[in-house]
Amino acid sequence: MFKYSLDNKRYYTLNYYNQMKYGSKVMKISLNAGFTCPNIDGTKGTGGCIYCLSGSNKNTEKDLVKQFYEVRDIMEKKWPGSKYIGYFQANTNTYAPLEVLKEKYESILALDNVIGLNIATRPDSISDDVLDYLEELSHRTNLVIELGLQTTNEKTAELINRCCSLKEFDDCLDKLNKRNIDVVVHIINGLPYETKEDMINTVKYLSNKKILGIKIHMLHVLKGTKLYDLYEKEHFHILTKEEYVDIVCDELEYLREDIVINRITGDPDVEDLIEPNWLVKKFGVLNEIDKEMVKRDIYQGDKYKRMD
């Protein structure tokens, strides 16, 4: 059994991390605080990244605390006595005046059994005053900043309208590292015209950075996105399940063994999904990754240890 797993996995599972750190089941509750994004409002770009449903604002009409309790009450029936992390997920969750951020973050932290926050944001959207506050916050709760990178290929970044350079990512990560704020990075496999080598290069890059964890997503085409328009026009290749499993297994070998795998596949909204259809069977994908790692007799970090 891999030393960072309780589930016979061959990679560092989030469940293991939570059990070792908190000693109990930890559930993340996704929240939509109604933030926008500099890639939507015209500050950096318009329309958002091409895969983003920027026009979708589900739950923004609901009070944050009400959002939290609606999900928490359901989870409590399945996993009573759990601890909770408020996950500020939708759009760019540090992109607002400091006082607005404080009010929203603190309203969730004040709730019973909330032990921390995960805050999803862009590397170009954390001002110095917000950074100071995040540092203070990290001293009194379990704080994780989730940074969207998606790819280290700058041509792909331009194609997907990321409007944020690799240098901006590096600069932001350095600032967070200096303040000892934990970071989880998001990447996407299967972006239009990327090769397997491109995807593995992104993982190799991150393996040499100070990060707590990584989320590996599979690109999915949703109705109403610019990605859908591009797919309809150019019919770029969508990874098959077999290709995705093969790439993920290689990526895991190149990832340092102490990087926590927070996610290893996509989780699309079925109502809006165009491709790939195989992605809706999430546990089937997870099982295929497990079986392939056993077949190859590999573990997370095997190739990283052999890298120069």
Find tokens 């990447």 and name the residue: 187
Q: Whole-model pTM?
A: 0.94
Whether the pLDDT of residue 177 is over 70: the answer is: yes
Per-residue confidence at 2, pLDDT binned at 50, 70, 90?
Answer: confident
- With the C-alpha atoms ordered 260, 82, 29, 128, is the resulting torsion angle positive or negative? negative
What are the structural domains of the chain? 14-303 (3.80.30.30)
Whether the pLDDT of residue 34 is over 80: the answer is: yes
